[in-house]
Amino acid sequence: MTLQPCPVFIGGEWRAIHKNGSSPVFNPSRGDTIAEAPMCGSDVVDEAVEAAAAAFPAWRDTPPVERARLFFRYRQLIEENFERICRSISREHGKTLAEARGSVYRGIENVEYACGAPTLLMGDSLENLARGVDCETMHQPLGVCVGITPFNFPAMVPMWMFPLALVCGNTFVLKPSEKVPLTVVILIELLEKAGLPKGVLNIVHGGRACVDALLTHPKVKAISFVGSSPVAKYIFETGTRHGKRVQANGGAKNYIVIMPDADVPHTVEALSTAAFGCAGERCMAGSTAITVGKAADHLLPSLIEAAQAIKVGPTDIEAQPDMGPVITAQHRDRVMSLLASGEKEGARIVADGRGLKVSDAPNGFYLGATIVDGIENEMTLAREEVFGPVLNVMRMEDLDQAIEVANKSAFGNGTAIFTNSGKAAREFRNRVKAGMVGINVGVPATMAMFPFTGWDESFYGDLHIQGKEGVQFYTQQKVVTTRWLGEGVGDVWKK
């Protein structure tokens, strides 16, 4: 099989890098290697950052209206190449086409938000702050910004970052996950076609050496990251220690509380999507269901039936499954190891996807939808982010106990409650400790105009990705106080 090219993009030029080795890129549906991601060292990173730094003065001085027009053109090109992008995601990640399409739509929403740059970058002003004195604020770009993105959303998460960073007047170096570097190449080829000036956005690939070079480079001003919590903490601590502004989004353990009065068909559908959508490989996955009172008796039979009915298979064909593979064989084995630990610690697997076989893709990285009942707080499955198609079930006596358990989590990305009681929903909304809350919504992930507000070990930093906080992150505020002196002006006027 001929491997797909995976070039870097520096100073407006695409080129291959071979000298520091490479990492395999798989088609998870088949288990085949489809590309090799180059492992860039500090020398390549330095080239990319220097190219971005050299492009910054001219890009900074480009009017926001012109920067926005670039992204209006870019949005049109994404629409025209929509299916090509989605099929690339399915091939290198394993998402179903429906999931890939949904994620690209979410990415497009961020491009659309960025198109509002002339309004987003407006400052405030006050005439006559004092006699003859006016005051105004302005938002100015930082310089070279960096995006380090995860494997689970090859298009959407990069589009959380670079469109807003660029329309704010910064230049950018993007390091996508070495597991899914190919879709990003398409995205930036389209941005180049839309009129991207040379050096304004650059791509490097690699592992820790590449990341460390970005975190410590003296010309990098800000770093955006999405990934696991241990790495997010490392990114934040290393970046800030070297004087960078950092927003680092980590992992999660998202609890979904089901009250006895919840609508069962709606809850089963929403919970199945939350737990098993994208094969559970997302930081907003509803990974733990806390059933209150008799809710488990109402819910579990239908939920188990729904999980067992999920069709799993390759996503690189026209006849699409309900769920695709996980990202690598190693990740599949890790999820299975966590399930084994759950059994050893006393939990019961009531829907078991470990024995799944896909006859037309025997080498793919598959794991069926799995439900584990009888989870207790001290169990490994209750504490660690599984990041796979696994739903834990915990049983509590009342809402107070459910909220207490959810609030003990070290994470704080998202949470949800399913109920027909306004009182219970309000109590939950006000008391639960998480950045994003759903009321009868299984995956309360925010859209582009709202920030992605993880708490605790799900986020390190002050200003979140997306929305107005994203604009604040990618700009620095300047306050200008003005007094013009002369006869007849302000408090220096004399008769």
Whole-number Å distance between alpha carbons of 145 and 170: 7
Whole-number Å distance between alpha carbons of 321 and 98: 10
- Give the number of other Cβ atoms within 10 Å of residue 131's Cβ: 11
Structure tokens at 451: 């920030």
Whole-number Å distance between alpha carbons of 380 and 351: 19
Enumerate the active-site residues.
Answer: 283
Of 252, 283, 253, 284, nearest to 270 (Cα)?
284
Whole-number Å distance between alpha carbons of 397 and 85: 47
Matching residue, tokens 């996807």: 353
Q: Which long-range contacts (CB under 8 A, 24 or more apart) does 38-43 make?
A: 38/6, 38/8, 38/205, 38/206, 39/178, 39/205, 39/206, 39/207, 39/209, 39/210, 40/8, 40/204, 40/205, 40/206, 40/209, 40/210, 41/206, 41/209, 41/210, 41/213, 42/209, 42/212, 42/213
Alpha carbon of residue 380 to chain centroid: 25
Residue 328 near residue 26, CB atoms below 8 Å: yes
